[in-house]
């Protein structure tokens, strides 16, 4: 049964938490304010198209598309819709996750509902209806350059809503027409303006970036807590978190993170047996985590702006009381801000992944872990403890690093040089989404190591909050004794940390 938390009004701001909920059934309402804007925008579009605009062409409504803008479009509105969408059916690769696709359509509905795209209210109503079901268009991953919007992926979504192509219901892939029927939905009827407005925005980019950001925020919180638990288990002196020390550093993220870590470590008792200075993966953790915190704040602002803005072309802008409205052609479909932000998020993710992997490496090394057995094995040689997990974390970090190559400046001209510069924000955002999932697994791996460390002789945490986190892990995960496959345990730990971070 849906609850009030599962209800979204299209005049209300969107945030990553709302987009995450869009993966499942969600009540989306088109309130009176949104409907008034939609009706006003639709009337203005028709007036401008039908002559009040002085006969000026309207891109995608009276013209061809992209590089063919200089040619007339099709006179029949249904044909113009087909002309818009059919040629964009050129995507390749595996289908995108349902959560990204449905989040992208929620972002698209919010943009259209602001009334500047000239679409019919019927389009937004039917999108809203879709969210009450498990219907999800089948959208291939590859094909968008992130300029003129996410044309190819959004075209697949629009076609599925028309009953063409394929879609999922309850996770099962089937022809889109069957999926609509199974979901109790009717095929969407579009004209050329509706069709272009559905595809001419960066909603896939924005959705993927927002979801990745939400995951990295959770991983950042989790890694902060795990770093404190590591320091407590090893008996580290918390002097590296001194408030005056971090204030002198001059960066707000480090000061904020230091305060959070001191809160986690309140009550800890140093063992007095650790070196004067800890390895950087502990001693410099407030600087690493703090810099990540500052960078994430910037990504927050980009995502918030994208979720609040209108990504489309052209826009139909209402005039003042005594002046007519205008058709304005421009580039509000250009996903450069999200591309830059996604590249920054990838860099943050890579360094957080480095930190988690280095901390696990320290924990399994008897030369640095305070004399615990190698690989945290209960009987080294006869058992192997965390050896497989540690190998896997090395592979995960290597994959994250490989994916961290910036995408936002790797422009390639296309579309007969109509699109002579593009941001590749879609690739950047989808890659950041993949990397964020790997970071979560790295955090889960470190958590599993911390749980095992206590089993093989590490002291019990002396800080109450660290002890509570360890108790949560030990209640859900058995010690590695004897050896067993640990892939599921890593995922269990990762889920626990995500819940802990978002609580």
Residue from 114, 207, 223 nearest 154 by CA: 207
Neighbours of 98 (CB within 10 A): 20
Comparing C-alpha atoms, which of 362, 366, 382, 371 is closest to residue 449? 362
Q: How far apart are CA 36 and CA 121, in angstroms?
A: 9
- Give yes or no for a cis peptide into 314 (omega within 30° of 0): yes
Buried b (16+ CB within 10 A) or exposed e, 3-22: eeebebbbbeebebebbbbb
**Could you give the CA distance from residue 471 to residue 465 in angstroms, rounded to a whole number?**
10
Compute the distance between CA of residue 275 and CA of residue 284 in angstroms, rounded to an integer: 15
Question: Catalytic pick from 59, 142, 156, 249?
Answer: 59
Active site residue 59: yes
Residue 326 sits at φ, ψ, to 5 deg, of -135, 150
Measured between alpha carbons, how far is residue 367 from residues 172, 206, 415, 480 in Å? 51, 45, 59, 21
Both tokens assigned to 277: 């200075």
Single out the residue of 359, 219, 348, 366 nearest to residue 283, CA to CA. 359
φ, ψ dihedrals at 323, nearest 5°: -125, 150
The closest alpha carbon to 446, from 211, 215, 217, 228, belongs to 228
As annotated, the active-site residues are 59
């Amino acid at each position: 049964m849906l609850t009030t938390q599962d209800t979204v009004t299209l005049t209300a701001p969107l945030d990553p938490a709302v987009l995450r909920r869009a993966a499942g059934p969600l009540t989306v309402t088109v309130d009176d304010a949104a409907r008034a804007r939609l009706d006003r925008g639709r009337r203005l579009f028709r007036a401008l198209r039908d002559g009040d605009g002085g006969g000026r062409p309207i891109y995608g409504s009276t013209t061809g598309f992209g590089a063919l803008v200089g040619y007339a479009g099709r006179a029949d509105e249904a044909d113009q819709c087909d002309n818009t969408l059919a040629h964009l059916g050129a995507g390749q690769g595996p289908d995108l996750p349902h959560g990204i696709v449905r989040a992208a359509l929620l972002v698209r509905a919010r943009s259209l509902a602001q009334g500047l795209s000239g679409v019919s209210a019927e389009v937004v109503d039917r999108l809203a209806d879709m969210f009450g079901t498990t219907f999800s268009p089948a959208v291939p991953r590859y094909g968008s350059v992130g300029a003129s919007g996410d044309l190819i992926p959004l075209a697949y979504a629009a076609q599925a809503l028309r009953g063409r192509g394929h879609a999922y219901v309850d996770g099962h892939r089937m022809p889109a027409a069957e999926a609509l029927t199974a979901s109790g939905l009717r095929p969407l009827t579009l004209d050329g303006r509706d069709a272009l407005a559905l595809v001419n925005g960066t909603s896939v980019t924005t959705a993927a970036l927002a979801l990745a950001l939400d995951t990295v925020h959770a991983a950042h919180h989790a890694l902060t807590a795990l770093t404190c638990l590591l320091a407590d288990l090893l008996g580290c002196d918390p002097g590296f978190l001194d408030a005056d020390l971090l204030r002198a550093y001059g960066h707000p993220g480090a000061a904020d993170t230091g305060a959070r870590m001191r809160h986690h470590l309140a009550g800890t008792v140093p063992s007095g047996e650790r070196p004067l200075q800890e390895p950087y993966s502990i001693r410099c953790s407030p600087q690493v985590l703090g810099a990540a915190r500052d960078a994430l704040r910037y990504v927050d602002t980009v995502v918030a702006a994208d979720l609040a803005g209108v990504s489309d072309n052209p826009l139909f802008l209402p005039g003042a009381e005594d002046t007519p409205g205008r058709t304005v052609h421009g580039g509000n479909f250009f996903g450069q801000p999200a591309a830059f932000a996604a590249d920054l998020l990838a860099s943050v993710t890579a360094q957080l992944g480095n930190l988690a992997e280095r901390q696990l490496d320290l924990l399994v090394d008897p030369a640095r872990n305070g004399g615990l057995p190698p690989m945290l094995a209960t009987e080294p040689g006869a058992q192997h403890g965390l050896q497989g997990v540690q190998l896997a974390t090395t592979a995960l970090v290597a994959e994250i690093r490989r994916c961290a190559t910036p995408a936002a400046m790797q422009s390639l001209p296309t579309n007969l040089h109509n699109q002579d510069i593009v941001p590749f924000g879609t690739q950047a955002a989808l890659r950041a989404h993949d990397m964020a999932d790997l970071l979560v697994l790295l955090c889960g791996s470190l958590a599993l190591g911390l749980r095992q460390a206590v089993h093989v002789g590490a002291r019990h945490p002396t800080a109450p909050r660290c002890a509570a986190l360890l108790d949560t892990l030990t209640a859900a995960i058995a010690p590695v004794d004897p050896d067993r496959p640990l892939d599921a345990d890593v995922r269990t730990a990762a889920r626990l940390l995500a819940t802990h971070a978002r609580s």
